Structure 1
């Protein structure tokens, strides 16, 4: 018999071609607290989405932390149980904060590549955390679509001619030349 070992392509140097939402990557997430001279530390980040913009692929990453502080809230995805965080390639319970996210090209220097295997991918979510991720993604996508629709509505309102109307009243407008307006005023006066 032949032994066959299947390699996960995300765990190779070809990770950029195979990365998907739900993957956990090591990334130097920029923080406001860090000074300009300090380099952000590598931390686990959750891939919320992969987007193609032009000829480049981008990852939408959520900040990962083991902190339980209330400042790190909003669209959370937790890997709390031992089986959940170990299968995701994490060492301890971790919370991913979807409100703290950044869109970066897959060629960004913030990805921390493991020299032994050539990838920043630590693992992937599974089970309940993956289900929660999909709910968070749905909400983020819906909010993005709503915002885009509002922008379209504002643009169409700003390009349409101004309206003057009285609510609940039907009327028609007649266009007349300045001479007709003057004649009409003389007749009324």
Structure 2
């Protein structure tokens, strides 16, 4: 079967294999996350927009932490030292002294580390998250992180709309 892609949507492989399709789907929602940050200043990115304190930059920091945990740590790979405690919710907001550039770069490194795991391991590879009492496959983690990232990209869509009226699930054109 000939593989076709749509370069307008992060090269989505409409006739690709399972791993390629799952990875492309994850990349699509990852790109939506980054797109939600574009054109805003530091104050807007940090601004808590819900009673629980949800901000665009906090969601990016959280997603980076989650990618490191599930894709990297669970499969026994090296995770960079964290300067915050995600188990105390410190990954949900940008703290004083943390820059936008620092958090976006952290997300980029987490994505790159996760991508190495996805590329190097088969879908049925088994990981053992230390915070769970059961093993998981890379396939399960891919599906879970697509769901997690899409959920938070949706939150980001609402937050962005509240800040400046911007909406949409991916970059136009």
The TM-score, its normalising length taken from structure 2, stands at: 0.29
Q: Which has the higher strand share?
A: 1
Looking at secondary structure, tell me which structure has more helix per residue.
2
Structure ranking higher on relative contact order (CA contacts 8 Å, 6+ apart): 2
TM-score, normalised to structure 1's length?
0.27
